[in-house]
Structure 1
């Protein structure tokens, strides 16, 4: 398994979306219309300066970064600067991988600057002419593989890519379960694709097609590592564990970190928050007062709901940059 995937499994990869610009028109592209322009995000944070990238990486104790887009090489100088930044701030062990539709000397230049892993994406499952010598040069200093979506009905195209990959010198192939998004929903539906039963976004038949490739390749292909990345993996592991890493750094002493990475707290509306603290006997480290509100631990719920003239609410929010609130429940 590629090192980038292993770090991703632990929730340790910062997602650095360097631009939404792209000259390709992949029908399955999940990038939202709002992001299909020259815009940059570090996880959910809009990047306005390089300090935003560094801070976001520190908040999650990032062990590496995945550079994605759009097509990152359309902002080549920006990518070079970001690789330099990440290596200078976090050291050579900070693992950086890049998604791109291009295998060229420019990719080799990024490897020379410290890029650790290249993930080539053949547009619409069509491998363009690739210079085998460049793949070989990249392999001398970095890992290089192919990443594709598993598209139902495109078994032959995927098998062709697998057959060509080893001959071209690629070390691994990642096959992603195809997902519906707001951006690609209409096109995927026009192709007759549907959401898999009991799933939010996974395309029905995508995972089975990927398993067929794995089964065939295990008999026919040698010296090539092939992996499947299911849709459920992103939520259960990648995203959830990344949230937990961040939550551990930002949660206040009175806030509870949940198994899904969200954070829970109580918010009490009252005209006399100090009096409420005294009545409930809340230690100083377990609350925060601002204006006519009191924040404290969910553990004090039973004590607080019995006090007159106060409104007690349970808040559940994401430890993302915008601190998105998911739940506001009034306690009774």
Structure 2
């Protein structure tokens, strides 16, 4: 409800990189999903960085416009956090929105001023780690341009959180972000000691946490607090962040006849027919002066790979249509089992973007007609658009074409 925090806008747009500065934390929150005992190296997307210059080059080459520093607790290694943040802001300036997640334990006025001086745009406090104290937020308001609270919605703390929301609005907190409790092997025992209902899904989440988040939004609205409240459910975060990571990597691997779907997969369309038919189609493309980059004959000569607009232009029932979807991921090293591209960092290190086949669909009859009509004639579809006619929907394709919308199903 209300505006999104600037960092959240970068996240939704898929323009954001989260650097886990360390893996160590000085708080003991019952809801923490992982162990936080090892300092480790700064890491993002399974790629570690020793040198800030390498990370800045990574941000530039992949086109990021948002950077968050997380952990662990990034202020347990203040020199490291300031070095990476400062290097990024010196290179990008206002082109890069930066924010830092903290439990606030290490925050004081000196720390806040040092963060401000190297260019931090936004700071996010998990006040659940410190008994919902707002002391450090009061200190941060007026020093860091944007002060945000980001906490899980804890059912037992509904009344306390409601009270604190009133205070947040009064002291100048810009935004409140709520997210959903998630069950993991690490926090299992602590969660089982509480009267929670666990939901099946992509991960195990807590029903009462979602209901609490929605009730807190209603409280803000009813009380007229003027405090923007955003509920980032687990399924929303999981789906959009994974799609954004796939999409950013897919851009590196895309050939002119391929399409990056809204779900972030790299889609390749191919028609199969007799050799003479494929040769005839290519001849017609050449006669019409169509850019040869928009089609390609497969190495075995059995498939003609086509851009979507060409599939539509030559489409007829005599052709078999195949749609394949690849997932592209950034890796420190190539597996050498899939196609990959490398890019070099200032230190001489190489990082690879690797593509591997996620799924292929052979489309015949009504399913083929529906696919062409839904995805090729009209571009990107939202999930709701695809549910209007269950009888001719290409089963399974929508998983790779669009991001599922809405809250998770309860079961």
Q: 1:298 to 1:207 in 2, by over 3 A?
A: farther
Match of 2:49 in 1: 47
Correspondent of 1:112 among 112, 117, 121: 117
Shift of 1:130: 1.0
Is structure 2 residue 235 aligned with structure 1 residue 232? Answer: yes
Correspondent of 1:168 among 141, 166, 171: 171
Task: Compute the TM-score of the two structures, normalised by the length of structure 1.
Answer: 0.76
Separation in 2, partners of 1:30, 1:75: 21
Match of 1:135 in 2: 140
Shift of 1:71: 0.5
- TM alignment of 1:154-303, pairs within 5 A: 154-198=157-201, 200-253=203-256, 256-263=259-266
C-alpha contact 2:25 2:73 (8 A) present in aligned 1: yes
Describe the SS at the equivalent of 2:59. Answer: helix
Match of 2:81 in 1: 79
Shift of 1:214: 1.2
Deviations 1:220-253 (A, max 9, x none): 2524222211222213333313431332134344
Q: 1:169 to 1:259 in 2, by over 3 A?
A: closer
Separation in 2, partners of 1:83, 1:216: 36
Listed as ranges, the gaps of 5+ residues in structure 1 are: 267-277, 301-313
Match of 1:310 in 2: none
Describe the SS at the equivalent of 2:100. Answer: strand
Correspondent of 1:323 among 354, 373, 379: 354
Task: Compute the TM-score of the two structures, normalised by the length of structure 2.
Answer: 0.63
Is structure 2 residue 24 aligned with structure 1 residue 21? Answer: yes
Q: 1:41 to 1:265 in 2, by over 3 A?
A: farther
Deviations 1:172-195 (A, max 9, x none): 211112223443344323434343
Is structure 2 residue 97 aligned with structure 1 residue 95? Answer: yes
Shift of 1:75: 0.9
C-alpha contact 1:262 1:319 (8 A) present in aligned 2: no
C-alpha contact 2:247 2:263 (8 A) present in aligned 1: yes
Listed as ranges, the gaps of 5+ residues in structure 2 are: 270-278, 283-291, 308-323, 332-352, 363-411
Q: 1:114 to 1:209 in 2, by over 3 A?
A: same
Q: 1:135 to 1:89 in 2, by over 3 A?
A: closer
Separation in 1, partners of 2:151, 2:304: 45
